[in-house]
A and B are shown apart, each in its own frame.
Chain A
């Protein structure tokens, strides 16, 4: 019999008699491991009290709890529960306290009608816990609010100008023309300034489209399965798996399959024949060493032969249009397929492709398949990665602003003459940018006016611009003034 066990149990709210009885056969740690049923046999009804004292309410079978309530012992149960709650074990409380902390911060914020971003709230909660400042929480949050508000962008600050400078200046240091191998050998991707221009200009198709295809389920862990998907994606032309000769003497085109290549790409002879049969205006004959293709009777000339030869070489046998190559690479625990060429819409239909993580560098394709918000994210990611890759640290907020501007109308607008700058409402601002005469002429013909609200217009006209302090106007409401009672 252990006195310490007995005392611990009494502390947890059990009666002295019961505690004595338990302590005679169990220590505290033994008690925690013993199953509910065994304890029930030994202590009968008291088992529930014991479980509650141990913080093992979850181990009590559900029926028991219900029965208790229906047995009109509700009052008793309530009392017990209160006792149990007070003496809950510590580990549970810790997790609660952490949750609690964030809620408490949120409550303080709500009381003061202030706002802090979730990241800041998390950080405060973490630091406060670490440094043990829980009692000073209110003061900490107060200081955080003060600091946050001080660091906010001021109203009417020229954030677009700052963004333009912040991206433009490092941009001058970018390499003019680089082709880099993006992690995977053999796939080259336009990077550096040309890529950045491509993103900002919202080109319909990037100069070097590529996709990162993630896989799901078995496909992602098994190399063979991954290869299967890669074969389905990669476009295979006939010329990749067979040799094509032109026999002028006998007026025919010979297709000689390369068995090895065909096996590698998992293509059978039937598939080959089926693909060739789609050709028009030809006669097809299967011979031992391959397939003979001849022009139609009466049309056997050299030009026709040349046409057939070219057509045959370019027949698509398998795969998705536009994808020139697919490379499998192991990344950590899973296999990922990188492709040269992109066809986002089609690749998502292939079995085994993880449709939630697969991405492309073709922003237009992302816009068409996933919508404007996804396109915004893609612009941010692509631009940020391009700058990062060149070793330039541009704050992501500037890029976010550019992406927001580009996507604000629901479509992707380029920055520049055809896009954002060319669509300004003010004639003078447009004329100040590019093709001055055209804009002025067009405006005069249409009889356009100008509200002189922007920066460029006001500089041209010679007025203070509406930015920063220039944007604030103070006026006295005379009508209200007369109604005010002046105290003497």
Chain B
């Protein structure tokens, strides 16, 4: 039996943004993709939701101060 890491209480909700959504996001915050925080391609969650390099992932965190907070990470390779 393989465990579902997405169900672990420490793992917040991850979802891949569609291309339109990603574009809209970058436009609203006037950002380039490289300016977003990163998540590695071989991160277990990235593998679990089958995201590809360059995808933007929307993370809905449960926050003790705001209740819920949204954060974005871009899937990228490790930079050495």
Contacts and interface: CB of A to CB of B under 8 A. Distances in A.
Interface string B68-80: 1100010010110
A369 to B, nearest CB: 6
Interface string A216-258: 0000000000000000000000000000000000000000000
Contacts of A355: 3-4, 7-8
Contact of A410 (B8, B9, B38): B38
Interface in A369-415: 369-374, 377-378, 396-397, 400, 404, 407-411
A370 B78 contact: no
A371 B12 CA distance: 10
Contacts, number: 88
A256 to B, nearest CB: 39
B61 interface: yes
A408 B34 CA distance: 12
A119 B66 contact: yes
B12 A369 contact: no
B5 to A, nearest CB: 5
Contact of B61 (A119, A357, A373, A411): A373
A404 B63 CA distance: 13
A118 B67 contact: yes
A418 to B, nearest CB: 14
Contacts of B44: 368-371
A374 to B, nearest CB: 4
B11 A374 contact: yes
A122 interface: yes
B53 to A, nearest CB: 12
A117 interface: yes
Contacts of B73: 372, 410
Interface residues of A, number: 31
Given A119-B67, A377-B10, A410 B3 contact: no
B45 A370 contact: yes
B46 A371 contact: yes
B10 A378 contact: yes
A46 to B, nearest CB: 49
B17 interface: no
B39 interface: yes
A359 B68 contact: no
Interface string B32-50: 0000011110011110000
Given A118-B67, A373-B59, A407-B37, 18 more contacts: A117-B66, A117-B68, A122-B67, A351-B1, A355-B3, A356-B8, A356-B9, A357-B9, A368-B44, A371-B11, A371-B43, A371-B46, A372-B45, A373-B10, A400-B63, A408-B37, A410-B38, A410-B73
16 contacts: A117-B68, A117-B69, A118-B68, A120-B67, A355-B8, A369-B44, A370-B10, A371-B11, A371-B43, A371-B44, A373-B11, A374-B5, A374-B8, A396-B65, A397-B65, A411-B40
Interface of A: 117-120, 122, 348-349, 351, 355-357, 359, 366, 368-374, 377-378, 396-397, 400, 404, 407-411
